[in-house]
Amino acid sequence: MPIRLPETLPAFDILDREGVMVMGEGRAARQDIRPLRIGLLNLMPMKITTETQFARLIGATPLQIDLSLIRMSDHQSRHTAPEHMETFYRTFAEVEATGEKFDGLIVTGAPIEHLDFEQVTYWDELRRVFDWTQSHVQSTFGVCWGGMAMAWHFHGIPKHILDHKAFGCFRQRVLVPTSPYLRGFSDDVLIPVSRWTEMRQADIDKVPGLVTLIGSDEVGPCLVEDAAHRSLWIFNHFEYDSETLKREYDRDVANGTPINVPQNYYPDNDPSRVPLNRWRSHAHLLYGNWINEIYQSTPYDLNEIGRG
Protein backbone atom coordinates (compact mmCIF):
# COMPACT_ATOMS: atom_id res chain seq x y z
CA MET A 1 0.00 0.00 0.00
CA PRO A 2 1.20 3.53 -0.70
CA ILE A 3 1.93 6.62 1.30
CA ARG A 4 -0.61 9.38 0.78
CA LEU A 5 0.94 12.71 -0.19
CA PRO A 6 -0.30 15.86 -1.92
CA GLU A 7 0.46 15.45 -5.60
CA THR A 8 2.12 18.88 -5.68
CA LEU A 9 4.55 18.07 -2.85
CA PRO A 10 8.07 17.75 -4.36
CA ALA A 11 8.55 14.40 -2.62
CA PHE A 12 5.61 12.95 -4.59
CA ASP A 13 7.38 13.03 -7.97
CA ILE A 14 10.78 12.12 -6.50
CA LEU A 15 9.45 9.01 -4.79
CA ASP A 16 7.23 8.06 -7.71
CA ARG A 17 10.29 8.03 -10.00
CA GLU A 18 12.10 5.82 -7.49
CA GLY A 19 9.29 3.28 -7.57
CA VAL A 20 7.89 4.09 -4.12
CA MET A 21 4.11 3.69 -4.08
CA VAL A 22 2.58 7.14 -3.64
CA MET A 23 -1.09 8.08 -3.83
CA GLY A 24 -2.87 11.38 -4.27
CA GLU A 25 -5.70 12.56 -2.06
CA GLY A 26 -8.46 11.68 -4.50
CA ARG A 27 -7.45 8.08 -5.05
CA ALA A 28 -6.81 7.51 -1.35
CA ALA A 29 -10.26 8.76 -0.41
CA ARG A 30 -11.86 6.04 -2.55
CA GLN A 31 -10.16 3.24 -0.59
CA ASP A 32 -12.27 1.71 2.20
CA ILE A 33 -9.44 1.59 4.72
CA ARG A 34 -8.22 3.66 7.65
CA PRO A 35 -4.69 4.83 6.87
CA LEU A 36 -2.19 5.23 9.66
CA ARG A 37 -1.81 8.91 10.48
CA ILE A 38 1.87 9.80 10.85
CA GLY A 39 3.06 13.30 11.67
CA LEU A 40 6.49 14.65 10.76
CA LEU A 41 7.61 17.50 13.02
CA ASN A 42 10.33 18.83 10.75
CA LEU A 43 13.02 20.82 12.59
CA MET A 44 15.64 20.55 9.87
CA PRO A 45 16.48 23.60 7.72
CA MET A 46 16.28 21.82 4.34
CA LYS A 47 12.63 20.86 4.67
CA ILE A 48 12.08 19.26 1.26
CA THR A 49 15.11 16.96 1.58
CA THR A 50 14.02 15.81 5.03
CA GLU A 51 10.39 15.29 3.96
CA THR A 52 11.53 13.09 1.11
CA GLN A 53 13.92 11.03 3.22
CA PHE A 54 11.34 10.10 5.82
CA ALA A 55 8.48 9.66 3.35
CA ARG A 56 10.67 7.22 1.43
CA LEU A 57 11.11 5.02 4.51
CA ILE A 58 7.61 5.06 5.96
CA GLY A 59 6.07 4.71 2.49
CA ALA A 60 7.68 1.32 1.87
CA THR A 61 5.34 -0.74 4.08
CA PRO A 62 2.19 -2.67 3.06
CA LEU A 63 0.01 -0.11 4.90
CA GLN A 64 -1.50 3.13 3.67
CA ILE A 65 0.16 6.08 5.41
CA ASP A 66 -1.31 9.56 5.70
CA LEU A 67 1.67 11.89 6.29
CA SER A 68 1.08 15.27 7.96
CA LEU A 69 3.84 17.89 7.88
CA ILE A 70 4.15 19.99 11.04
CA ARG A 71 6.40 22.90 12.01
CA MET A 72 7.02 24.92 15.15
CA SER A 73 4.59 27.80 15.46
CA ASP A 74 6.94 30.75 15.97
CA HIS A 75 10.00 29.56 14.06
CA GLN A 76 10.32 30.66 10.44
CA SER A 77 12.39 28.57 8.03
CA ARG A 78 15.13 30.55 6.24
CA HIS A 79 16.07 27.73 3.85
CA THR A 80 12.69 26.72 2.41
CA ALA A 81 10.38 28.91 0.34
CA PRO A 82 7.52 30.47 2.34
CA GLU A 83 5.11 29.23 -0.34
CA HIS A 84 6.13 25.63 0.35
CA MET A 85 5.69 26.06 4.10
CA GLU A 86 2.33 27.76 3.67
CA THR A 87 1.04 25.10 1.25
CA PHE A 88 2.15 21.91 2.95
CA TYR A 89 2.76 22.61 6.64
CA ARG A 90 0.62 23.33 9.66
CA THR A 91 1.97 24.81 12.86
CA PHE A 92 1.88 22.72 16.00
CA ALA A 93 -0.49 25.29 17.51
CA GLU A 94 -2.93 24.64 14.65
CA VAL A 95 -2.66 20.87 15.10
CA GLU A 96 -3.05 21.15 18.86
CA ALA A 97 -6.14 23.31 18.53
CA THR A 98 -7.96 20.71 16.43
CA GLY A 99 -7.59 18.01 19.09
CA GLU A 100 -6.68 15.49 16.40
CA LYS A 101 -4.61 12.42 17.20
CA PHE A 102 -1.87 10.52 15.38
CA ASP A 103 -0.78 6.92 15.22
CA GLY A 104 2.85 8.02 15.01
CA LEU A 105 4.99 11.14 15.17
CA ILE A 106 8.59 11.64 13.98
CA VAL A 107 10.52 14.49 15.57
CA THR A 108 13.55 15.22 13.39
CA GLY A 109 16.98 16.43 14.35
CA ALA A 110 18.02 20.08 14.25
CA PRO A 111 21.42 21.77 13.70
CA ILE A 112 21.43 23.42 17.14
CA GLU A 113 23.53 20.95 19.13
CA HIS A 114 25.83 23.65 20.49
CA LEU A 115 22.93 25.25 22.39
CA ASP A 116 21.62 24.15 25.76
CA PHE A 117 18.08 22.90 25.31
CA GLU A 118 16.67 25.85 27.23
CA GLN A 119 18.47 28.27 24.87
CA VAL A 120 16.56 27.00 21.83
CA THR A 121 14.00 29.62 20.84
CA TYR A 122 11.18 27.11 20.48
CA TRP A 123 12.07 24.94 23.49
CA ASP A 124 8.96 25.79 25.50
CA GLU A 125 6.71 24.86 22.60
CA LEU A 126 8.67 21.67 21.93
CA ARG A 127 8.21 20.65 25.56
CA ARG A 128 4.49 21.15 25.01
CA VAL A 129 4.72 18.89 21.94
CA PHE A 130 6.37 16.14 23.98
CA ASP A 131 3.70 16.32 26.69
CA TRP A 132 0.95 16.39 24.03
CA THR A 133 2.28 13.14 22.51
CA GLN A 134 1.36 11.29 25.71
CA SER A 135 -2.33 11.82 25.07
CA HIS A 136 -2.45 12.33 21.29
CA VAL A 137 0.17 10.01 19.71
CA GLN A 138 0.45 6.25 19.88
CA SER A 139 4.23 6.10 19.19
CA THR A 140 6.83 8.87 18.89
CA PHE A 141 10.21 8.54 17.14
CA GLY A 142 12.83 11.13 18.10
CA VAL A 143 15.75 11.41 15.65
CA CYS A 144 19.24 12.69 16.60
CA TRP A 145 18.74 16.04 18.39
CA GLY A 146 15.00 15.29 18.53
CA GLY A 147 15.71 12.09 20.46
CA MET A 148 18.19 13.85 22.74
CA ALA A 149 15.59 16.52 23.47
CA MET A 150 13.05 13.86 24.44
CA ALA A 151 15.58 12.18 26.73
CA TRP A 152 16.26 15.51 28.45
CA HIS A 153 12.59 16.50 28.72
CA PHE A 154 11.24 13.22 30.09
CA HIS A 155 14.23 11.99 32.11
CA GLY A 156 16.78 14.79 32.53
CA ILE A 157 19.41 12.84 30.57
CA PRO A 158 22.04 15.36 29.36
CA LYS A 159 23.79 15.57 26.03
CA HIS A 160 27.57 15.94 26.07
CA ILE A 161 29.68 18.03 23.68
CA LEU A 162 32.30 16.06 21.75
CA ASP A 163 35.81 17.38 21.18
CA HIS A 164 35.49 16.43 17.51
CA LYS A 165 32.53 15.69 15.28
CA ALA A 166 31.34 12.08 15.09
CA PHE A 167 31.12 11.95 11.32
CA GLY A 168 30.87 9.00 8.97
CA CYS A 169 29.40 5.50 8.94
CA PHE A 170 29.95 3.51 12.11
CA ARG A 171 29.38 -0.14 12.96
CA GLN A 172 26.74 -0.63 15.66
CA ARG A 173 25.91 -3.79 17.59
CA VAL A 174 22.36 -5.09 17.91
CA LEU A 175 22.00 -5.51 21.67
CA VAL A 176 18.42 -6.80 21.89
CA PRO A 177 17.90 -9.01 18.83
CA THR A 178 14.46 -10.10 20.09
CA SER A 179 13.09 -6.55 19.95
CA PRO A 180 10.20 -6.31 17.48
CA TYR A 181 11.79 -3.11 16.16
CA LEU A 182 14.84 -5.12 15.05
CA ARG A 183 13.16 -7.96 13.20
CA GLY A 184 15.35 -9.02 10.28
CA PHE A 185 18.43 -7.13 11.51
CA SER A 186 21.95 -8.47 11.18
CA ASP A 187 24.05 -8.76 14.32
CA ASP A 188 25.77 -5.50 13.49
CA VAL A 189 24.75 -2.64 11.21
CA LEU A 190 26.39 0.35 9.56
CA ILE A 191 24.69 3.67 10.31
CA PRO A 192 25.51 7.25 9.23
CA VAL A 193 26.48 9.53 12.14
CA SER A 194 26.80 13.31 12.00
CA ARG A 195 26.81 15.13 15.35
CA TRP A 196 28.88 17.19 17.75
CA THR A 197 27.16 15.77 20.83
CA GLU A 198 26.55 12.38 22.33
CA MET A 199 24.36 10.57 24.82
CA ARG A 200 26.19 8.33 27.26
CA GLN A 201 25.15 4.84 28.14
CA ALA A 202 25.99 5.40 31.83
CA ASP A 203 23.38 8.19 31.96
CA ILE A 204 20.76 6.06 30.22
CA ASP A 205 21.43 3.15 32.59
CA LYS A 206 20.44 5.32 35.55
CA VAL A 207 16.84 5.51 34.32
CA PRO A 208 14.73 2.40 35.00
CA GLY A 209 12.83 1.12 31.99
CA LEU A 210 15.02 2.53 29.25
CA VAL A 211 16.50 -0.13 26.95
CA THR A 212 19.33 0.47 24.49
CA LEU A 213 18.55 -1.67 21.43
CA ILE A 214 21.57 -0.72 19.27
CA GLY A 215 24.87 0.74 20.42
CA SER A 216 28.56 1.19 19.72
CA ASP A 217 31.69 1.43 21.87
CA GLU A 218 32.96 4.06 19.43
CA VAL A 219 30.00 6.44 19.12
CA GLY A 220 27.79 5.39 22.03
CA PRO A 221 24.12 4.38 22.23
CA CYS A 222 22.21 4.55 18.97
CA LEU A 223 18.62 3.33 19.40
CA VAL A 224 16.83 3.51 22.76
CA GLU A 225 13.32 2.40 23.64
CA ASP A 226 11.32 4.32 26.24
CA ALA A 227 8.30 2.06 26.60
CA ALA A 228 6.74 4.15 29.37
CA HIS A 229 6.41 7.08 26.98
CA ARG A 230 5.69 4.91 23.92
CA SER A 231 8.75 6.25 22.16
CA LEU A 232 12.02 5.42 20.43
CA TRP A 233 15.08 7.64 20.20
CA ILE A 234 17.72 7.21 17.52
CA PHE A 235 20.79 9.42 17.76
CA ASN A 236 22.08 8.63 14.26
CA HIS A 237 20.72 8.96 10.73
CA PHE A 238 19.30 5.89 9.02
CA GLU A 239 17.18 8.25 6.92
CA TYR A 240 20.17 9.82 5.15
CA ASP A 241 20.45 9.56 1.38
CA SER A 242 23.57 8.10 -0.22
CA GLU A 243 25.15 11.55 -0.68
CA THR A 244 23.96 13.37 2.47
CA LEU A 245 27.29 13.03 4.27
CA LYS A 246 29.08 14.07 1.06
CA ARG A 247 26.99 17.25 0.85
CA GLU A 248 27.81 18.06 4.48
CA TYR A 249 31.51 17.41 3.91
CA ASP A 250 31.66 19.41 0.67
CA ARG A 251 29.79 22.30 2.33
CA ASP A 252 32.25 22.47 5.23
CA VAL A 253 35.27 22.22 2.93
CA ALA A 254 33.89 25.04 0.74
CA ASN A 255 33.25 27.20 3.83
CA GLY A 256 36.70 26.54 5.27
CA THR A 257 35.20 24.80 8.30
CA PRO A 258 37.58 22.25 9.82
CA ILE A 259 36.11 18.82 9.15
CA ASN A 260 37.46 15.30 8.91
CA VAL A 261 36.68 13.04 5.96
CA PRO A 262 33.61 11.01 7.01
CA GLN A 263 34.84 7.64 8.24
CA ASN A 264 33.97 4.38 6.46
CA TYR A 265 31.91 6.26 3.88
CA TYR A 266 33.95 6.75 0.71
CA PRO A 267 35.66 3.69 -0.81
CA ASP A 268 39.17 3.60 0.70
CA ASN A 269 38.22 6.86 2.53
CA ASP A 270 38.91 8.71 -0.72
CA PRO A 271 36.49 11.68 -1.08
CA SER A 272 37.08 11.79 -4.83
CA ARG A 273 35.23 8.45 -5.16
CA VAL A 274 31.48 7.86 -5.17
CA PRO A 275 30.20 6.79 -1.73
CA LEU A 276 28.28 3.53 -1.40
CA ASN A 277 25.01 3.23 0.50
CA ARG A 278 25.44 0.30 2.91
CA TRP A 279 22.64 1.14 5.36
CA ARG A 280 19.54 1.43 3.15
CA SER A 281 18.16 -2.07 3.82
CA HIS A 282 18.38 -1.73 7.61
CA ALA A 283 16.83 1.74 7.40
CA HIS A 284 13.78 0.28 5.67
CA LEU A 285 13.66 -2.56 8.18
CA LEU A 286 13.70 -0.25 11.19
CA TYR A 287 11.02 2.14 9.98
CA GLY A 288 8.95 -0.70 8.56
CA ASN A 289 9.10 -2.48 11.91
CA TRP A 290 8.11 0.74 13.68
CA ILE A 291 5.10 1.18 11.39
CA ASN A 292 4.14 -2.46 11.93
CA GLU A 293 4.33 -2.11 15.72
CA ILE A 294 2.11 0.96 15.53
CA TYR A 295 -0.36 -0.96 13.37
CA GLN A 296 -0.43 -3.83 15.87
CA SER A 297 -1.02 -1.58 18.88
CA THR A 298 -2.91 1.51 17.77
CA PRO A 299 -6.68 1.62 18.33
CA TYR A 300 -8.89 1.69 15.25
CA ASP A 301 -10.69 4.69 16.75
CA LEU A 302 -8.04 7.39 16.98
CA ASN A 303 -9.98 9.03 19.81
CA GLU A 304 -8.95 6.12 22.03
CA ILE A 305 -5.23 7.00 21.80
CA GLY A 306 -3.87 8.07 25.18
CA ARG A 307 -6.77 6.64 27.18
CA GLY A 308 -5.09 3.38 28.13
> What is the C-alpha to C-alpha distance for residues 275 and 268, in angstroms, rounded to an integer?
10
Tell me what pLDDT residue 31 has: 45
In the predicted structure, residue 21 carries a pLDDT above the cut 70: no
Rounded average pLDDT over 156-178: 96
Sign of the Cα pseudo-torsion (110, 174, 163, 231, in order): positive
Catalytic residue among 51, 136, 144, 225: 144
> What is the C-alpha to C-alpha distance for residues 219 and 252, in angstroms, rounded to an integer?
21
| Percent share of the chain, pLDDT over 70 | 94
- Cα dist from 278 to 81, 170, 211, 264, whole Å: 32, 11, 26, 10
> What is the C-alpha to C-alpha distance for residues 196 and 192, in angstroms, rounded to an integer?
14
Tell me phi and psi for residue 161, to 5 degrees: -75, 135
Per-residue pLDDT reduced to its tens digit, 63-115: 889 999 999 998 777 778 999 999 999 999 999 999 999 999 999 999 999 99
Per-residue pLDDT reduced to its tens digit, 180-203: 999 999 999 999 999 999 999 999
Q: Catalytic annotation on 198?
A: no
In the predicted structure, residue 26 carries a pLDDT above the cut 70: no
Residue 173's pLDDT band, with cuts at 50, 70 and 90, is very high
Number of C-beta neighbours around residue 30 at 10 A: 7
Contact 74, 121 (CB under 8 A): yes
Tell me what pLDDT residue 30 has: 45
Contact 107, 140 (CB under 8 A): yes
Q: Catalytic annotation on 304?
A: no
Q: Catalytic annotation on 164?
A: no
In the predicted structure, residue 118 carries a pLDDT above the cut 60: yes
In the predicted structure, residue 258 carries a pLDDT above the cut 90: no
Catalytic residue among 169, 237, 248, 282: 237
Tell me phi and psi for residue 25, to 5 degrees: -60, -40
Q: Which domains does the chain have, with CATH numbers?
A: 3-161+197-240+279-304 (3.40.50.880)
Catalytic residue among 51, 225, 239, 248: 239
Residue 42's pLDDT band, with cuts at 50, 70 and 90, is very high
Q: What is the pTM of this model?
A: 0.90
